[in-house]
Amino acid sequence: MATLHLMVGLPCSGKTTLAKKLEHELPALRLNLDRCHIHLFGQDAEGPEHDTRHNLIETMLWDIASRSLVLGMNVILDYGLWAQKERDDYRLRAKQLGAGCKIHFLDVPEAELLRRLAARNAHLPSDSFYIPEKSMRSWIDQFQKPTLDELEFG
């Protein structure tokens, strides 16, 4: 059975590093929302069209993911998925397609996230958004950690 793998965590938590590893071990198709967005629109995180563009790309990537799952391929959504509602939605979508779902939660302490963010911003990879520390601190407060049920049952 194909499995949808959800990478859950804040920026700089190691989601993409783990997703790249899993991509080869499973194997799986890895879909990274930010990478696609930056390739299409550049560093527009502060721009007025950012969220609309991001949502359009997410919809397009789900079309690819769902078709891949139906064809029997494992898929990794390297997105972040900060809200339980989002994770619930993707788990339901996978179930409706006859696929399994697994959550990979990267729980990193705030101090380490901020250290990694400073290092990343100093040498920003071409496929990553610049994130001000103020934004990261706000996101830490908004992030909904997965429940034990989510982690056990995907």
The pLDDT tens digits for 53-91 are 999 999 999 999 999 999 999 999 999 899 999 999 999
At 21, which CATH number? 3.40.50.300
Host domain of residue 113: 3-153
Asked whether 96 and 50 are in contact (CB, 8 A), the reply is no
Q: What pLDDT, on the 0 to 100 scale, is given for residue 46?
A: 85
Asked whether 121 and 127 are in contact (CB, 8 A), the reply is no
Residue segments in the chain with a per-residue pLDDT below the cut of 70: none
Instruction: Compute the distance between CA of residue 32 and CA of residue 54 in angstroms, rounded to an integer.
Output: 11
- What count of other Cβ atoms lies within 10 Å of the Cβ of residue 93? 16
Helix (H) / strand (E) containing 19: helix 15-25
Number of domains into which the chain is organized: 1
